[in-house]
Amino acid sequence: MSLPPLLLLLLLPPPFLTLEPARASLIRIPLRRVNIGFKALNPLRGWEKLAEPPRLGAPAPGNKSLFVPLSDYMNVQYYGEIGLGTPPQNFSVVFDTGSSNLWVPSVRCHFFSLPCWLHHRFNPKASSSFRSNGTKFAIQYGTGRLAGILSEDKLTIGGITGATVTFGEALWEPSLVFTFAHFDGILGLGFPVLAVGGVRPPLDRLVDQGLLDKPVFSFYLNRNPEAADGGELVLGGSDPAHYIPPLTFVPVTIPAFWQIHMERVQVGTGLTLCARGCAAILDTGTSLITGPTEEIRALQKAIGAVPLLMGKYYIECSKIPTLPPVSFLLGGVWFNLTAQDYVIQITRSGFSVCLSGFMALDVPPPSGPFWILGDVFLGSYVAVFDRGDRKSGAQVGLARARPRGTRQ
């Protein structure tokens, strides 16, 4: 089972935007960035043994692409808007490559489930296309358990309308971390084997119904703190304007999470980690870059980070220009992060705090151990997630993200 993204304790969600009429096949929906001061970064993910091998959906021919804009909170949380029902009821969701279910809060939620009352809730009586399923589902998170029932209705996403999906209506959200989150729910973009209850994931349903030509999508996460938007999720392909060619494609080794083989990690010229190769997961639902405790501890020492509470590390902001690069060898190509890339800088009322973008996380066998390349990595490199087909396996393409405002 996959777990939810790294979350922040946030204030109430921002207003939702109304979808504009489509003018072309590529649809871009701008969302606002929320800038609020320092909050704790709490990892909630946990990992369990996969019960069965994944089954990959067959892609349809064609070359359609769709764009779903992403909003970013303090460079550690990205989310966008979808609609459920007829007429669409708007929800803000995290697009998470580490899970495969879609769920949102329900008007039928438990009276004592506080997150329900502070977020947009799905009302089946307000939708003419709603179909009851009633099957119970539950997802175990690191700090709580989400439970509810499965339902069926129409999904609106990035200009696509009329897609029939099975989704979860959350009836009980005991984890307080959801209470102040800016997003309402989660839309998983992992492989079908991760889906709780055997539900067909939203991406597969779009392809099955001919609304998306192929099971390919890409993320461009805008980490510019001065920008108004957080980036874009592109469904059906990628936008070359988002990255500097070429794309380096790395095969997926276990098609459940987006897991690949990482050959080595280098910190400056003096420290080598993952020396014999190791597993790594590309996960948009994880804010930081995580790895085994001993290796991350050595990395933090090499970049001069000082331990704080709950696994966080502090870095003196004035030292950023002198810190060593951290490089990842993937598919025979080095992907370099400068300190500007891997240090999270938070400024409020003229006061700045700098935190390391790395965190220790020991994932036990049989799923682990592995590294997680989360948003700190994906903010610097565009990732193209390609599920492949019966002839070619799944793969991930990586290329340096093109800075906003630049041209090809």
Residue 254 pLDDT exceeds 60: yes
Sign of CA dihedral 145, 149, 152, 154: negative
Q: What pTM was estimated for this model as a whole?
A: 0.84
283 is catalytic: yes
What is residue 133's predicted lDDT score, i.e. its pLDDT? 95
Catalytic residue among 96, 153, 229, 375: 96
Residue 279 pLDDT exceeds 70: yes
Maximum mean pLDDT: which of 106-120, 144-158, 179-193, 246-260: 246-260
Catalytic residue among 153, 229, 283, 375: 283
Distances (CA, A) of 340 to 25, 33, 84, 251: 35, 20, 39, 29
72 is catalytic: no
Single-letter code of the amino acid located at 204: D
With beta carbons less than 8 A apart as the criterion, state whether 235 and 155 touch: no
Task: Name which residue leads in pLDDT, 163 or 39.
Answer: 163
| Residue 51 tokens, joined | 């019960």
The reply to whether 27-37+63-217 and 239-400 are identical in fold is: yes
Pairing of strands 144-157, 78-84: antiparallel
- Which of 102-106, 111-115, 148-152, 176-180 has the least mean pLDDT? 176-180
With beta carbons less than 8 A apart as the criterion, state whether 315 and 302 touch: no
If you average pLDDT over residues 277-306, what whole number do you get? Answer: 94
Closest alpha carbon to 155 in 254, 225, 68, 226: 68
Residue 366: is the preceding peptide bond cis (ω within 30°)? yes
| Residue 219 tokens, joined | 């993320």
Fold entry, domain 239-400? Cathepsin D, subunit A; domain 1 (2.40.70)
Query: What are the domain boundaries of the chain?
Result: 27-37+63-217, 239-400
What is residue 7's predicted lDDT score, i.e. its pLDDT? 32
pLDDT tier at 326, thresholds 50, 70, 90: very high
Q: What is the DSSP letter of 13?
A: P
If you average pLDDT over residues 229-242, what whole number do you get? Answer: 87
Average pLDDT, the chain: 80
343-388 pLDDT, tens digit each: 988 877 778 899 999 999 998 888 889 999 998 999 899 999 999 8
Fold entry, domain 27-37+63-217? Cathepsin D, subunit A; domain 1 (2.40.70)
Judge residue 42's burial from the number of C-beta atoms within 10 Å of its C-beta, 0-12 exposed, 13-18 middle, 19 or more buried: middle
If you average pLDDT over residues 216-222, what whole number do you get? Answer: 88
Sign of CA dihedral 94, 97, 98, 102: positive
